[in-house]
Each structure stands twice: as structure tokens, then as C-alpha cells.
């Protein structure tokens, strides 16, 4: 319920439109009731053969209510759906603002298909929250009170019976629906989320599934989840059918009771024959307002579940005191520690080092030693639980995450290319980059000859995730994008893993030449490439166990030296190491 209150809180800027929508909704129902009541009066009066002059008001009334019903209904739909779309837009923006600061590390425990389901399915459910769950309740309440008073003007007993029937139809049955459908809607929402996650995973990994002949089993799993989802939907369909039957039953029982009270009073001053016809039609017309409330109750349950899932993800990013940041010349880790939730051991333990522009530091160690976690902290994807990071002696906690990220150009082992042109992928690094600047960056990354073979040049489409490029081409393209970015520090996470040795040597030389005035932090397993590096940090179980230059570490004959010997024995002689410092 708290999540729905947050949704309604997003309506606060649109209170005028909310009030106008409700007023138009009541007016549309009132016009329909007026049309039917006036038509009943006209037909019943005409049966007595009065003068046509006596029927003129009723005739004009039928025309007025007939036209106004359509006008009011159109205006109500126009205002309410406009309001609904703007509410949905605010929900989408709010969802993104909460999910973006925690990406990607804080979202690694969530399935991408589930996140997509929240962004698509749950938001689509909330699209109908105002129109189908909130507004009908208010309109039905106003109509119930108004029609009970109007019909009570003929006979008080009729007003009381009418109020009872409308309350049963409009509020008791929806209340029962809330209780009956809550569990089913919870299971349906969870099943849809699972189905969405499985479908995304099936599409993303279909090639691997086919290669390992596991596609049939996975498709069967998806089909089973789809059948479960359909079963919950069918159950809700049965409940909807039962609601429709109960609505008709209550409406007709109310009419019978009203007639049972009204017929004996027929002919009295309070209830003439014409009035009896009008009362009968008004009773039936009044139930229009409450006919949608059982469905509104289901929508309310669905909206509550959807809102709960959307607001379950909340940003944990604290407000910073410094926005824009001038180019930084030095960063420093001071006793930094971090432990992932649910893990028994910290990923980083009391890490301390300093990196200035123009310096190069290599980080080595086994997988899981904490190297990538260190980069995630630098990029404000996660925040250290102990210790401090400073940028030019300023604590990173005082700097906005966006400003901190602008100081770094990051290159991962598996860079992502968006499904658009080469130009737009390059301009992610520098929005105003010219063709000459982009060509220079591609040339430094060894892609100028490849670009010359592309008929569309920079407008060449790269495909989803760079599917039209080879693994090596994607890696070199990502290097070009990094070189294009105006950042003071380069963060490299195995950037040359998919390149052949000669290309790797050429690319590394290019990066070093282009980054002579930049700080470089390089995570690598290629230890034989580190000769000449002024600083090497050896990580093990989240700690720095050795630190120094390549020559110093080899002379110590410690952990680093043993890793180099192991790599030398496992790999063939590498021609890159011999020429790296030439």
C-alpha cells in the first residue's frame, strides 16, 4: 500500500487535471442517467396522449442529455488518458533515476529479464491505475450518494434500497474481489516476471544453447512457465465472469425490491404511473457507475503488486556536495575496504596506493582477487564501506558520481557496442567529435584500413552488441572510443585480450603514446608485458600482497615472480615482451 501512495504522490502536480477528470466522469454518468430517465418520462407521458407542448421540455432534455453524454465521455477520456500518460512518463523517469545510479554492480543479483519486465509489464499495469482503479471508485461514490438522494425524493424506502444495492454492487463485491484475487494476482505477477526473464535469457544465449543441445530443454521450460501464467490468467477470467454474473444478480434483485415497495404506492401523490416508469429506469441506469468496480478491484491488486516491484529497487546513492569537477591530476586510495552483500569475505581489504597523471600502475592477481571491484569503486558503481578515495585531496564522497566518472575512460574486456552506427557509438565518448577526430582515433587503434573497406564509412551499422564486427574489431573499436574520450585517467580491464600478439603490441604502444600525460591503471593477466612498469600491485584475496617495479618484484622471488615463471612455462615465448619498451 505504501508503494501505491508513492504512485499517487506522483499525481500531485496534476491535481487540477485529476479534479477535472473526476468531474467529467461524474457528468458523463449523470448525462447517461438523465438521458434514460428523461426518455422513460417522455415515453410514459406520451402514452397518456397529452398535448405536444407538455412534452417539449422532455424532448429537449433527451436531445441535451444524448449530446452531452457523448461530449462529456469524450472529454473525460481525453483528460484522464492524458493524465495517465503523463503519470506513466513520470513513473518511467522515476524508475530510471532509481535504477541508474546502482548500475551495473548493484544490479548483478537481478535477472535482466526481470528488470525488463518491471520496466515494461509493471509500468504497463500502472498505466491503467488512475483510469481503471482510482477514478471509478470516486465516480461511483458520488453517483451512489446522488442517486440515493434523488430516488429517496420519491419514497425514502426506495432511496435506502437503492443505496444498499449500489453499495453491495459497488463496494462489497469489489472488496470480496480484492481478497479473492490478491493471491492469484501475486502469483500471476511473479510468473510473468519469470517468463520475461526466461525469454530474455533464451534469446541472449540461444547460440550457446543450440551448441550444447540444450535449446529444447530450455524452450520446454519457457513453455511450462507460459502455461502456468496462462492458468493464472484463466483463473482471473473465471473470477471476472463470476463478478459479472453477481453484478447482474444484485442489480435485478435491487430492482425487484424497489418495485415491491413502489407498486403498492402507485397512484399516490408521491408516485404516479409516469414516476414509476422513471424510477424503474433510473434504478437500472444507476448501476452503470458501479459495474466497473470489481474490475477496478482487480486492477488495484495488480497495481499494488506492480508498484511494489517497481519501488523495491531504490537508489542508495547519497547526495553529493560538489557537482562539476575540474580535471583531476591525482587520485589516492586510503585503506579502502569493500564487501559484497551476502559474501563471507571482503572483496577489498585496506587497499592503499596513489596514481598521478603521467604514471602507470598495473594490477595483477588471480580471478576474484578484487581487481574489478577496485575499478567499480573508482567509477562510483559501488561505494567503499571503510577507507576513503580522494581526487586531488577531495573526498570522493563529496563529488557527484557523474563528475567522478568524467575523470576516467574505462575499457573492459567485453566492451558494449550499441545497435547503431559507428559514428554514434564513437560519439558516446565525445558528443561533438568531428570525422577527422574519429578517424584519428580509429587509426591509432588499427582500424583505419578496416574503415576504408566499409562502403558507408562512419554510418556503418554495427548490429546488436557489435554483432557485425569480429571480437578483435570490437575490442579495437572500443580502444578507439576510449582514446577519443577527454579523460585524465585510463582504466583498462584486460583491453587487449582478444587481439593477436603483434596487434596487441601495436595497440599498447599507441595507448602509451596517446596517454603519456594521463594516469593509467591496467588490470592484466599478461605478466610478461609488464617489464619497465614503474608500479605493479599484486592482489590476492582482496589485499595487496606485493608492490613495486617489475625488476624489484622479480628480485624478491615472491608471489609475482612465481606467477611470471608459471606463465612463462605455460605459454610459448611471447614476441611482444621483447619489443614492448623499444
**pLDDT of residue 318 exceeding 80:** no
Residue 571 has pLDDT above 60, yes or no: no
CATH number attached to the domain at 2-311? 1.20.1560.10
Cell numbers describing residue 167: 453499495
Q: Are strands 519-523 and 489-493 parallel, antiparallel or unpaired?
A: parallel
Lowest mean pLDDT among 20-34, 216-230, 391-405: 391-405
What's the mean per-residue pLDDT of the chain? 82
**Which residues have a Cβ under 8 Å from the Cβ of 264 and sit 6 or more positions away?**
none
Rounded to an integer, the average pLDDT of 393-397 is 85
Q: Who has greater pLDDT, 572 or 237?
A: 237
The confidence score (pLDDT) of residue 580 equals: 47
Instruction: Look at residues 497, 263, 253, 524 and name the one whose alpha carbon lies nearest to residue 375.
Output: 524
Residue 321 above 60 pLDDT? Answer: no
| pLDDT given for residue 22 in this prediction | 85
Count the neighbouring beta carbons within 10 Å of the beta carbon of residue 226: 15
Q: Which of 22, 40, 21 is nearest to 32 (CA)?
A: 40
Rounded average pLDDT over 70-90: 87
Whether the per-residue pLDDT at 466 is higher than 70: the answer is yes
The residue among 267 and 415 whose pLDDT is bigger is: 415
How many angstroms separate the CA atoms of 324 and 398, rounded?
A: 11
pLDDT the model gives residue 1: 65
pLDDT at residue 209 is higher than 90: no
Q: How confident is the model at residue 223, as a pLDDT?
A: 92
Model pLDDT, residue 74: 93
- Give yes or no for residue 576 having a pLDDT over 60: no
- Given a cut of 90, whether residue 67 has pLDDT beyond it is yes
Which residues, at least 6 apart from 543, have a Cβ–Cβ distance to it below 8 Å?
Answer: 349, 350, 351, 370
**pLDDT of 323 higher than 60:** no
Each residue's pLDDT tens digit, 428-438: 888 888 989 99
pLDDT of 371 > 80? The answer is yes
Rounded average pLDDT over 147-152: 85
* 102 band by pLDDT with thresholds 50, 70 and 90: low
Average pLDDT, integer, range 453-460: 89
Residue with cell 574503415: 451
pLDDT band for 577, please (50, 70, 90 cuts): very low
Check: CB of residue 442 under 8 Å from CB of residue 448. yes
Q: Which CATH architecture has domain 327-407+487-582?
A: 3-Layer(aba) Sandwich (3.40)
- 505 pLDDT more than 80: no
Q: What is the mean pLDDT of residues 399-407?
A: 82
Give per-residue burial for 163-199: e unless 16+ CB within 10 Å, then b. bebbbbbbbebbeebbebbbebbbbbbbbbbbbbbbb
Report pLDDT for 582.
46
pLDDT confidence of residue 244: 81
**pLDDT in the model for residue 578:** 45
Q: Looking at residue 185, what is its pLDDT?
A: 82
Contact criterion met (CB below 8 Å) for 243 and 237: no
| % of the chain beyond a pLDDT of 90 | 7
In the chain, where does the domain assigned CATH 1.20.1560.10 lie? 2-311
β-pairing, 535-540 vs 543-548, is: antiparallel
Q: How far is CA 245 from CA 242, 249, 251, 567, in A?
A: 5, 6, 10, 76
pLDDT value of residue 581: 47
CA distance 487 to 327: 8
SS (HEC) of 97-116: HHHCCCCCHHHCCCCHHHHH
Distance CA 1, CA 26 (A): 26
- What pLDDT, on a 0 to 100 scale, did the predictor assign at position 106? 58
Percent of residues, the chain, with pLDDT higher than 70: 90
Is pLDDT above 70 for 362? yes
Class of domain 416-486: alpha beta
Would the pLDDT of 75 be above 90?
A: yes
Domain span(s) for CATH 3.40.50.300 in the chain? 327-407+487-582, 416-486
What is each CA distance from 349 to 104, 374, 381, 528, 537, in whole angstroms?
22, 11, 18, 27, 14
> By CB neighbour count within 10 A (0-12 exposed, 13-18 middle, 19+ buried), where does 131 fall?
buried
Q: What's residue 258's pLDDT?
A: 87
SS3 563: helix
Distant-in-sequence, close-in-space partners of 283: CB < 8 Å, separation ≥ 6: 151, 162, 165, 254, 255, 258
The pairing of strands 386-391 and 394-395 is antiparallel
Predicted local confidence at residue 263, as pLDDT: 83
Measured distance CA(361)–CA(518) in Å, rounded: 11
pLDDT in tens, 300-310: 777 777 777 77
The segment with the largest mean pLDDT, out of 150-154, 178-182, 349-353, 444-448, is 349-353
User: Over 60: is that where the pLDDT of 319 sits?
Assistant: no
Q: Does the pLDDT of residue 227 top 90, yes or no? A: yes
Say if residues 476 and 447 touch (Cβ distance below 8 Å): yes
Cell for 363? 594490477
State whether the Cα torsion 196-200-201-207 is positive or negative.
Answer: positive
> Over the stretch 7-60, which tens digit does the pLDDT of each residue have?
777 777 888 888 888 889 889 888 988 898 888 888 888 888 888 887 888 889
Amino acid at each position: 500500500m505504501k508503494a501505491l501512495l508513492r504512485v499517487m504522490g506522483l499525481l500531485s502536480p496534476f491535481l487540477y487535471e485529476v479534479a477535472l477528470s473526476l468531474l467529467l466522469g461524474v457528468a458523463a454518468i449523470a448525462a447517461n442517467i438523465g438521458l434514460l430517465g428523461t426518455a422513460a418520462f417522455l415515453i410514459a407521458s406520451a402514452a397518456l396522449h397529452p398535448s405536444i407542448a407538455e412534452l417539449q421540455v422532455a424532448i429537449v432534455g433527451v436531445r441535451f442529455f444524448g449530446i452531452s453524454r457523448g461530449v462529456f465521455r469524450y472529454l473525460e477520456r481525453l483528460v484522464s488518458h492524458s493524465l495517465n500518460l503523463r503519470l506513466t512518463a513520470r513513473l518511467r523517469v522515476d524508475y530510471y533515476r532509481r535504477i541508474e545510479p546502482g548500475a551495473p554492480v548493484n544490479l548483478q543479483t537481478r535477472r535482466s529479464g526481470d528488470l525488463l519486465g518491471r520496466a515494461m509489464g509493471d509500468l504497463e499495469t500502472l498505466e491503467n491505475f488512475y483510469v481503471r482503479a482510482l477514478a471509478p471508485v470516486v465516480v461511483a461514490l458520488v453517483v451512489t450518494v446522488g442517486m440515493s438522494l434523488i430516488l429517496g425524493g420519491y419514497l425514502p424506502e426506495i432511496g435506502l434500497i437503492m443505496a444498499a444495492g449500489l453499495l453491495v454492487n459497488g463496494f462489497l463485491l469489489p472488496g470480496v474481489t480484492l481478497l479473492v484475487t490478491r493471491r492469484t494476482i501475486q502469483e500471476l505477477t511473479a510468473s510473468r516476471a519469470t517468463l520475461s526473464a526466461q525469454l530474455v535469457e533464451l534469446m541472449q544465449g540461444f547460440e550457446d544453447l543450440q551448441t550444447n543441445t540444450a535449446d529444447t530443454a530450455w524452450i520446454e521450460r519457457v513453455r511450462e512457465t507460459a502455461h502456468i501464467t496462462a492458468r493464472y490468467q484463466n483463473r482471473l477470467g473465471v473470477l471476472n465472469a463470476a463478478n459479472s454474473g453477481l453484478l447482474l444478480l444484485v442489480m435485478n434483485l435491487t430492482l425487484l425490491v424497489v418495485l415491491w415497495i413502489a407498486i403498492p404506492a402507485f397512484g399516490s401523490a408521491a408516485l404516479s404511473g409516469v414516476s414509476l416508469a422513471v424510477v424503474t429506469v433510473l434504478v437500472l441506469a444507476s448501476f452503470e457507475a458501479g459495474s466497473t468496480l470489481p474490475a477496478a478491484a482487480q486492477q488495484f491488486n495488480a497495481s499494488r503488486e506492480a508498484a511494489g516491484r517497481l519501488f523495491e529497487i531504490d537508489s542508495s546513492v547519497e547526495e553529493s556536495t560538489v557537482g562539476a569537477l575540474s580535471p583531476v591530476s591525482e587520485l589516492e586510495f586510503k585503506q579502502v575496504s569493500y564487501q559484497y552483500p551476502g559474501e563471507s569475505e571482503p572483496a577489498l581489504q585496506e587497499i592503499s596506493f596513489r596514481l598521478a597523471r603521467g604514471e602507470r600502475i598495473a594490477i595483477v592477481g588471480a580471478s576474484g582477487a578484487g581487481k574489478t571491484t577496485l575499478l567499480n569503486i573508482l567509477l562510483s558503481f559501488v561505494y567503499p564501506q571503510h577507507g576513503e578515495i580522494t581526487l586531488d585531496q577531495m573526498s570522493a564522497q563529496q563529488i557527484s558520481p557523474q563528475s567522478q566518472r568524467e575523470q576516467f575512460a574505462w575499457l573492459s574486456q567485453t566492451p558494449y557496442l550499441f545497435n547503431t552506427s559507428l559514428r554514434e557509438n564513437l560519439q558516446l565518448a565525445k558528443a561533438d567529435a568531428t570525422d577527422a577526430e574519429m578517424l584519428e582515433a580509429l587509426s591509432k587503434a588499427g582500424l583505419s584500413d578496416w574503415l576504408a573497406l566499409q562502403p558507408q564509412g562512419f554510418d556503418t551499422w554495427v548490429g546488436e552488441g557489435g554483432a557485425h564486427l569480429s571480437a578483435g574489431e570490437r575490442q579495437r573499436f572500443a580502444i578507439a572510443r576510449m582514446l577519443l574520450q577527454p579523460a585524465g585517467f585510463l582504466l583498462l580491464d584486460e583491453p587487449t585480450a582478444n587481439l593477436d600478439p603483434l596487434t596487441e603490441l601495436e595497440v599498447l604502444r599507441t595507448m602509451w603514446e596517446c596517454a603519456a600525460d594521463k594516469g593509467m591503471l591496467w588490470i592484466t593477466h599478461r605478466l610478461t608485458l609488464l617489464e619497465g612498469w614503474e608500479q605493479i600491485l599484486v592482489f590476492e584475496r582482496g589485499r595487496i600482497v606485493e608492490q613495486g617495479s617489475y625488476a624489484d618484484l622479480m628480485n624478491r622471488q615472491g608471489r609475482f615472480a612465481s606467477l611470471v615463471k608459471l606463465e612463462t612455462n605455460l605459454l610459448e615465448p611471447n614476441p611482444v615482451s621483447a619489443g614492448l619498451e623499444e
